[in-house]
Amino acid sequence: MTQQDGIGFAVPGDLKQLAERIGSFVRQDVIPLEGDPRWTAHGPTDELRRELNDLARRAGVFAPHVPVEYGGLHLSHIGRAIAFEAAGYSMLGPVALHCAAPDEGNIHLLDQVANAEQRERYLKPLATGLVRSCFCMTEPAPGAGADPSQLATTARRDGDHYVLNGRKWLITGAEGAAFAIIMTKIDGGEADGRATMFLSDMAADGIHIERTLDTLDSSFVGGHAVLRFDHLRLPADSILGALGEGYAYAQVRLAPARLTHCMRWLGSAVRAHDVAVEYARRRTAFGKRLGEHEGVSFMLADNKMDIHTARLTIWHAAWLLDQNERAAQESSAAKVICSEAISRVADRSLQILGGLGTTRDTIVERIFRDVRSFRIYDGPSEVHRWALGRRLMKDNAR
């Protein structure tokens, strides 16, 4: 094996410097705003988001992942892993850098699929942070949830337009979004029954936000809404990509988006762990520091190992994506490994803090609540395990 063939784990100098700049920005400018009342139960307000975006622009760290033509660095997937973890050290960090869900995933999808007109109308204002967006795929029962084949929202051709009807729910960021990417099932015609994505302004007649759900998490701008499409009429050129290719485009978005969730939440897990370590060093009980008790030191050690495992898992899947591999299995496995490891880190950190951990006097309580949802969205752990196991039964030699 030559040196060129070997596996390297050194972070390139430019990415290391970027991560350090982002880390300094998060600690100096973002963390002081975590107690701001504009961080509500339904996520940060748009006013707070814009203020954070302006701070990130002034610090020179705004949206490093977006295409160069819109002012970004168009980071590789490995680059995003390094930068997004640094941003995630505060749950407001991804909001500040404009790399939070769902906008980050939508930017990636539009960059890969949108035509020239759609790039100008939708991608440009989104990539530059002028607007927010939402991705409308999940539906209430009996529609599509973990099983996308149950897609119930329909689009029927009517002349030069399509008419959309259906309901979506748990739509992140819908409140205040400028536009939506809507997953539908074609009703009739040559693509009957096939999934297709449409782009629509949220102000269009026929889109109704029924309510914003009260959820466990609170870090996503705009919260999570229930939407109804009631005879939403869209021109045929509103189709994103090709007619009937919605599921293929969903994979373009979902595999990297699963991974970027892991990246951001890993940063939050590191933050929770750091808080727990600092507390264990200064708090005393039964004649010595808390961290000198074996029960606590073992939890801290397990945190360290879970964080390390999650980081290596992310880096491997990101590297595969950078090699133009689909990495569907690897990103699926990473989602389970990381969401569960990160949840364990948050849980242990809260336990080490004791009564303090149940309060808002540290950020750990909020991290604990938010990361619990991560084991469900972008596919519950059980669905990913089922898919991976099914693949093993087909390729039992692997």
Residues 319-357: tens digit of each pLDDT: 999 999 999 999 999 999 999 999 999 999 999 999 999
Pick the range with the lowest mean pLDDT from 235-239, 251-255, 337-341. Answer: 251-255
Average confidence (pLDDT) over 275-288: 98
- Whether residue 166 contacts residue 229, with contact meaning beta carbons closer than 8 Å, is answered with yes
What is the average pLDDT value for the chain, to the nearest integer?
A: 96
Task: Give the integer Cα–Cα distance in Å for 336 and 316.
Answer: 14
Average confidence (pLDDT) over 310-319: 97
User: Is the predicted pLDDT of residue 363 greater than 60, yes or no?
Assistant: yes
User: Is the predicted pLDDT of residue 395 greater than 70, yes or no?
Assistant: no
Which has the higher per-residue pLDDT, 396 or 390?
390
Residues 52-89: tens digit of each pLDDT: 999 999 999 999 999 999 999 999 999 999 999 999 99
Residue 9: its pLDDT value, please? 87
Average confidence (pLDDT) over 281-291: 98
247-394 is classed CATH 3.30.110.40: no
Delimit the domains of the chain by residue range: 13-100, 133-244, 247-394
Residues 35-54: tens digit of each pLDDT: 999 999 999 999 999 999 99
Give domain 13-100's CATH number out of 1.20.1050.40, 3.30.230.10, 1.10.540.10, 3.40.630.30: 1.10.540.10
Using CA atoms, how far residue 341 sits from 62, 306, 328, in Å, is 29, 5, 20
Average confidence (pLDDT) over 142-156: 96
Query: CATH fold of 133-244, please?
Result: Butyryl-CoA Dehydrogenase, subunit A; domain 2 (2.40.110)
